[in-house]
Amino acid sequence: MKLAGLRVLDLTLFLPGPYLTLALADHGAEVIKIEPPGEGDPTRHLGLSDGASTVYFRNLNRGKKSVVLDLKSATGRDALLGLAESADVFVESFRPGVVERLGVGYEQLSARNPRLVYCSISAFGSSAPYRDRPAHDLAVEALSGVLSMNVGRDGNPAIPGVPIADLLCALQGLAGILMALLRRERTGRGQRVETSLLQGVVALQSGLVVDYPGRKPVPRDNPTYRLYCAGDGGWFFLACGNQSFWLKLCELLGRPDLAQDPRFGSWMDRIEHHDLLHPILTVAFATKPRDEWLRLLAARDIPAARVQTLAEFMRDPAVAHHRLVVTYEHPEVGELTLMGLPISFSETPGRDAGPPPTLGQHTGEILTELGYPDTAIADLTARGIVGPKRKE
């Protein structure tokens, strides 16, 4: 495994941090998920559940170890500091300033372990003007301009179907950690890596953000790059953005006049005259069933795709080919379905890392490794400082 022998301490909740550390776990790293006493990571109780864990939690935390520590207590903090001495990577997603108040900030941990790669992820960054604001994915998308460009047919901002800012932040953080680990191989020293939801979504707009006076947002309502409803009521996406695809489409529709019309001569011309072109294409695509249009478009190498439900996509041959969904037996619920790995390697493939941990499942194991006797672990568990929530 590519990351075998790498120990990761995961002090993150919800989506960005767990998604980041999931990639490390999938490729061999030992990821120790530090959860607060009581209910643990809130995603254990968020969304659909089949009794063992929520779909949300298990898809983000498969193959990790769960240790419950009360970091507000001296004992819990000392246990974490001890763990940090043997860790390679530390990932936290608290609001800026919290880890320092808990005594587990970068300066404290790097003094004990100079090789540690310490990653902080937050909404706006530790030194940003909005660092103290509470915020999640959509708030950052709103602030950054993403929602202003993601508009519905009524011209109003629409909520994307996936949490773009969260996922981009996770991927940026993952890239930063891997680069820092590579540098450590060369220098022997770790460093702090920091990224935020805001930084990720701004980087996403690299082809759109241009800073000059008077710039106006480019309209995105391109009639040759949008959804259409076919004659049988099935929807498909037409991606006919460049000139060669446009000319092929005009030929397919039997409309050479559209190709010669100067109002539709370029990509920007077609956007500017959307109100003229869109009705023409809408009427044309209503004359045949969706699968017929997809066959005709594919025959001319024009990009298009049917709009599928998630259930339909799960039956798509591409899902099975890439093993994007995997199943195995779980002792509590029987067959368990998880999302698969999104990257393929020719020599070092990822692994089926196993089910997500129960809350605090590995607390005793890890504390024993740190030298805590069984009696001390039992006492700390009874007092609610370590381990899962006690049953009354």
The pair of structure tokens assigned to 233 is 């009521």
CA distance 276 to 256: 16
- Measured distance CA(149)–CA(216) in Å, rounded: 12
Q: Can you say how many angstroms the Cα of residue 60 is from the centroid of all Cα atoms in its chain?
A: 9
DSSP string covering 25-88: HHTT-EEEEEE-TTT-SGGGGSS-B-SSSBHHHHHHHTT-EEEEB-TTSHHHHHHHHHHHTT-S
Q: Identical fold at 7-206+346-382 and 225-312? A: no
Active site residues: 166
HSE, side-chain direction, 13 A CA sphere, residue 95: 7
Q: Which CATH class is domain 225-312?
A: alpha beta
- Over residues 255-273, the pLDDT tens digits come to 999 999 999 998 889 988 9
H-helix segments, 103-196: 106-112, 137-144, 146-149, 164-187
Would you kindly state where each structural domain of the chain is located, as residue ranges?
7-206+346-382, 225-312
CA-CA-CA-CA dihedral for 136, 138, 143, 146, to nearest 10: 140
How much is the pLDDT for 220? Answer: 57
Q: How far apart are CA 35 and CA 66, in angstroms?
A: 7
Among positive and negative, which fits the CA dihedral 76, 354, 93, 51?
A: negative
**Do residues 150 and 160 lie in contact, with contact meaning Cβ atoms separated by under 8 Å?**
yes
Phi/psi of residue 232, each to 5°? -95, 10
Chain segment 26-53, per-residue pLDDT in tens: 999 999 999 999 888 988 888 777 666 7
The continuous run of DSSP H or E covering 372 comes out as none
Q: Are 119 and 172 in contact (CB under 8 A)?
A: no
Specify the 3-state DSSP secondary structure of 143: helix
Cα-based distances in Å from 280 to 88, 243, 276, 302, 375: 59, 18, 7, 18, 78
Extract the residue ranges of the chain whose pLDDT is less than 70: 1, 50-52, 153, 205-220, 328-333, 352-353, 389-392
| C-alpha 255 chain-centroid distance | 43
pLDDT of residue 333: 65
Task: Look at residue 391 in the predicted model and tell me its pLDDT.
Answer: 46
Q: How many residues does the chain have?
A: 392
Q: Say which CATH superfamily domain 7-206+346-382 falls into.
A: Crotonobetainyl-coa:carnitine coa-transferase; domain 1 (3.40.50.10540)
Which tokens in the block code for residue 227?
């959804």
- pLDDT per position as a tens digit, 262-313: 999 988 899 889 999 999 999 999 999 999 999 999 999 999 999 988 788 8
Give burial (CB, 10 Å; 0-12/13-18/19+) of 172. buried
Identify residue 75 by its one-letter amino acid code. Answer: T
With b for 16 or more beta-carbon neighbours within 10 A and e for fewer, the 189-211 pattern comes to ebbbbbbbbbbbbbebeeeeeee
Identify the pLDDT of residue 324: 78
Give the pLDDT score at 213: 46
